Structure 1
Amino acid sequence: MTEQVQMAKIFKALCDPKRISILQELQNGEQCACHIIEQLDIAQSALSYHMKILCESGLVESWSVGKWTHYQLSQQGAQKAMTALQAITATTQETTI
């Protein structure tokens, strides 16, 4: 996967208000999908869609426990997102004032 494709996945994950709400919910620590569904009043199918995007971006990690999936923020993914934003917004020339 190219660097640009990975950056696009990160920014796509961050461009939806519902996904931002999910990330904010995960700031409290690991969460079961059932808890996120309840807290955000979201359908299970909608949560699955959003979580797929968040996991593919690397911002969220997931694992199964019984019939439920658990999620948590990925510190490595957060670092990649910050690095990507810095890389894409950095100027290549210094400007003089």
Structure 2
Amino acid sequence: MLTSVNAELLRALADPLRLRIVCLLARESLCTTHLVEETGARQTNLSNHLRVLREAGVVETEPCGRFTYYRLRPEALVHLASFFNGLGDGGRETAPVRRPCG
């Protein structure tokens, strides 16, 4: 079982707009223009959120002419999913175990 997870990754995904961006990028690579259209967020606000996601290792960029496309880095989420699956498995295995008080 994994015993740690990157707290920056959790903070990055905790924001509703960033989570929405991740969900959109799970379906396809998108440029900032697409993300503005999909989310309704301002371009500057969106750019700040994309920077946080990049720094957390959740997304990566791909230049395409004068545009930059963003795509999901699934390995970051796979690691996170494994961590939470391990917690869930541990909870099922230790449910009847109780440490004595006193």
TM-score (norm 2): 0.73
Work out the number of aligned pairs and report it: 93
- Superposition deviation, residue 25 in structure 1: 1.3
Structure 1: give runs of 5+ residues left out of the alignment: none
**Residue type at the aligned position of 2:16:** P
Structure 2: give runs of 5+ residues left out of the alignment: 98-102
Bigger Rg over Cα: 2
Partner of 2:18: 19
User: In percent, how many aligned pairs have the same letter?
Assistant: 26
**Residue type at the aligned position of 1:30:** S
1:20-72: per-residue Cα shift (whole Å, max 9, x none)?
Answer: 11112112211111101111111111111111111111221212222221111
Secondary structure of 1:14 counterpart: helix
**Residue type at the aligned position of 1:41:** G
1:36-47 map, 5 Å: 36-47=35-46
In 2, the alpha carbon distance for the partners of 1:95 and 1:67 equals 55
Query: Hey, which bits of structure 1, 4+ residues long, moved more than 4 A?
Result: none
Partner of 2:71: 72
TM-score (norm 1): 0.76
